[in-house]
């Protein structure tokens, strides 16, 4: 089961956010939250919010165990950029490009453990007496 959460139009450069997203890919959710809490970057806070949303969705909407969740991918895409201009010398104008991002986090839950036939046979109670035998 995969759970995806997305934050759109976040005001941070995708290049800056990708550095943080690469650090948490493939990690269990608890380890990723620890890393994000102690990373002193704006992107860590924003990705952490998206990750917490995905965890809450997995727990409440899909009934997955949060202890078994792993980050499958954390993708940072480019969102529309804002173009602004700053006055420069001799009447010129210099462009200012304000980039924004779309943050997407995909979690995958470990599949429920299936008991093999051998494990099920071992877990079964000892043989019950047949109908013809005496129980005493």
Between residues 135 and 83, the one the model is more confident about: 83
Dihedral class, residue 63 (left if φ above 0, else alpha if ψ from -120 to 50, else beta): left
Instruction: Say whether pLDDT at 127 is over 90.
Output: no
Reduced to 3 states (helix: H, G, I; strand: E, B; else coil), residue 131 is coil
Q: Domain 2-123, CATH 1.10.3720.10 — does that match? A: no
Q: Phi-psi bin for 98: left (phi > 0), alpha (psi -120 to 50), beta?
A: beta
State how far the Cα of 40 lies from the Cα of 92, in Å rounded to an integer. Answer: 37
117 — pLDDT class (breaks 50, 70, 90): low
In the chain, where the domains are located: 2-123
Quick one: pLDDT at residue 6?
Answer: 95
User: 32-81: per-residue pLDDT in tens?
Assistant: 999 999 999 999 999 999 999 999 999 898 888 888 899 999 999 999 99
pLDDT category of residue 91 using cuts at 50, 70 and 90: very high
């Amino acid at each position: 089961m995969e759970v995806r959460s997305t934050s759109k139009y976040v005001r941070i450069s995708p290049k800056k956010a990708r550095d943080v997203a690469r650090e948490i890919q493939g990690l269990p959710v608890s380890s990723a939250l620890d890393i994000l809490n102690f990373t002193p970057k704006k992107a860590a806070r924003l990705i952490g919010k998206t990750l917490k949303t995905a965890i809450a969705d997995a727990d409440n909407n899909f009934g997955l165990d949060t202890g078994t969740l792993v980050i499958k991918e954390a993708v940072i895409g480019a969102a529309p950029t804002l173009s602004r201009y700053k006055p420069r010398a001799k009447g010129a104008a210099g462009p200012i490009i304000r980039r924004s991002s779309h943050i997407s986090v995909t979690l995958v839950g470990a599949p429920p453990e299936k008991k093999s036939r051998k494990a099920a046979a071992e877990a079964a109670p000892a043989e019950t007496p047949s109908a013809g035998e005496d129980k005493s």
